[in-house]
């Protein structure tokens, strides 16, 4: 059987660039471990397969019935695109959320290590809780990003954790003997109460609660950029917020801080919070419930608002990421700026906060319209852009 050609994999619709590829050596090590183990495809679950490299390589080797969970919508769409490129069809695997349907009866779980320990703890708990009693979790990552604390997290949920020899700057951790406790409550989201009321700020609902499940960026903390944007919106002339029925989108909402704060301050607004991360969306929905906003704020899983109508928003709140995985890259932010331009009505506003060293103001002026600086701190810049007609 010819070897799987990883070089044909693409990241699309995620950002593509010469220094960004759709697989790494960890994917290949995980695939080889699975093939050597000889476990049937129907007893394999794959978690964190960013663009489908693991799933498709196993399908190409003849395995069927693989279950896969990808957090990002872009990854899910990239997998579908790569399936078409390789002509494999979708019968070899089935997509799931991180739940019992993904893991029930699974004897081998392949995991690309997540960026945070909280996400790893949540995944390890799910595997120990729902997978087969003799399940083995094989977690892999790039050596430069791995820590001994990851071993400790796995040891909370498995009786044995064995690091493997590093190869090609990647390493596998093999966790076996799951410590099953079906009576243990499901992990609840981390919650933190924040006070954003400050002297001189008109954008102050007072206290609100942020909720976060394991994979959500910044956990339940209010990240610095979001706080800067909230303060700026309180002191700035936010014309687009005036009037009943104003349509607002928190684009790339994360745990939903901006959407929740705005909805509390503007009870007549129609607010949508959207993110490409399933963990973020799950967290944002919990945030809305915690703040009594579940019936007022719609939270959607989507890639850059692709399923929302053009020119339908009066106001967009934007705190774009500047990382793609472990790489610092402006591409993710630029995609959201372009999405904001599509989603805003003529004359609508986008309020953006970004690291001051980034050239987002030029991109906002080009793609959205006239852009002014509202606030600049030593680290962050807040701008207001008006959608040109």
CATH number at residue 87: 3.40.50.150
124 and 204 both lie in a single domain: no
**At 193, which helix (H) or strand (E)?**
strand 190-195
Does residue 115 sit in the same domain as residue 233? no
Torsion of CA 323, 324, 327, 329, to 10 degrees: -70
Residues 66 and 95 in one domain: yes
The answer to whether residue 1 is domain-embedded is no
**Number of other residues whose CB lies within 10 A of the CB of residue 160:** 12
Alpha helices in 45-162 (DSSP H): 53-60, 73-86, 100-103, 117-130, 148-155
Of 145, 178, 211, which residue is a domain's last? Answer: 178
Q: What is the total count of domains within the chain?
A: 2
Same-domain status, 167 and 212? no
- Residue 158 and residue 218 in one domain: no
Written as tens digits, the pLDDT of the chain (389 aa) is 568 999 999 999 988 888 889 999 999 999 999 999 999 999 999 999 999 999 999 999 999 999 999 999 999 999 999 999 888 877 889 999 999 999 999 999 999 999 999 999 999 999 999 999 999 999 999 999 999 999 999 999 999 999 999 999 999 999 999 998 777 888 889 999 998 754 444 445 578 899 999 989 888 999 899 999 988 887 666 666 666 789 999 999 999 999 999 999 888 999 999 999 999 999 999 999 999 999 999 999 999 999 999 999 999 999 987 645 544 456 778 899 999 999 999 999 999 999 988 889 999 999 999 999 999 998 999 999 999 98
Last residue of a domain, one of 151, 178, 205: 178
Q: Which domain holds residue 168?
A: 6-178
Flag whether 310 is in a domain. Answer: yes
Are 234 and 258 part of one and the same domain?
A: yes
**183: in domain:** no
Q: Are residues 94 and 209 in the same domain?
A: no
Q: Are 218 and 311 contained in the same domain?
A: yes
Count of beta carbons in the 10 Å neighbourhood of residue 255: 34
Same domain, 256 and 145: no
Rounded Cα distance between 124 and 143, Å, is 20
Nearest alpha-carbon partner for 353 in 253, 232, 234, 197: 232
214 and 174 belong to one structural domain? no
Q: Are 149 and 40 members of one domain?
A: yes
- Looking at 128, 151, 178, the residue that finishes a domain is 178
- 299 touches 273 (CB < 8 A): yes
* pTM assigned to the model: 0.91
Let me know if residue 184 belongs to a domain.
Answer: no
């Amino acid at each position: 059987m010819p070897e799987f050609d990883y070089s044909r994999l693409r990241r699309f619709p995620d950002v593509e660039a010469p220094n960004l590829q759709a697989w790494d050596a960890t994917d290949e090590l995980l695939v080889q471990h699975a093939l050597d183990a000889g476990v049937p495809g129907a007893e394999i679950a794959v978690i964190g397969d960013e663009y489908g490299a693991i799933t498709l390589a196993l399908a190409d080797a003849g395995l069927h019935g693989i279950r896969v969970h990808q957090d990002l919508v872009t990854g899910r769409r990239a997998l579908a695109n790569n399936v078409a490129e390789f002509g494999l069809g979708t019968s070899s695997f089935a997509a799931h959320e991180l739940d019992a349907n993904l893991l029930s009866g699974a004897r081998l779980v392949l995991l690309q290590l997540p960026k945070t320990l909280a996400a790893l703890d949540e995944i390890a708990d799910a595997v120990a809780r729902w997978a087969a009693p003799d399940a083995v979790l094989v977690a892999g990552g790039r050596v430069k990003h791995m820590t001994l604390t990851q071993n400790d997290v796995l040891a909370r949920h498995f009786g044995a954790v064995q690091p493997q020899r590093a190869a090609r700057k990647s390493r596998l951790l093999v966790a076996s003997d799951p410590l099953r406790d079906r009576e243990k409550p499901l992990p609840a989201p981390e919650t933190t109460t924040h006070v954003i009321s400050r002297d001189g700020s008109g954008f102050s609902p007072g206290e609100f609660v942020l909720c976060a499940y394991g994979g959500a960026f910044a956990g339940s903390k209010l990240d610095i950029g979001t706080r800067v944007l909230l303060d700026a919106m309180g002191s700035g002339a936010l014309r687009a917020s005036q009037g009943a029925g104003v349509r607002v989108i928190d684009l790339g909402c994360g745990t939903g801080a901006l959407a929740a704060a705005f909805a509390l301050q503007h009870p007549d607004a129609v607010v949508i919070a959207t993110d490409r991360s399933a963990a973020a969306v799950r967290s944002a929905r919990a945030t809305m419930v915690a703040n009594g906003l579940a019936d007022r704020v719609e939270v959607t899983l989507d890639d850059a608002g692709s399923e929302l109508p053009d020119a339908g928003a009066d106001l967009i709140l934007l705190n774009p990421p500047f990382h793609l995985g472990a790489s610092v890259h402006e591409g993710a932010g630029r995609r959201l700026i372009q999405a904001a331009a599509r989603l805003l009505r003529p004359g609508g506003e986008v309020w953006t906060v970004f690291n001051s060293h980034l050239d987002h103001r030029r991109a906002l002026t080009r793609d959205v319209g006239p852009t002014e600086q509202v606030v600049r701190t030593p680290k962050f810049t807040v701008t207001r852009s008006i959608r040109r007609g």
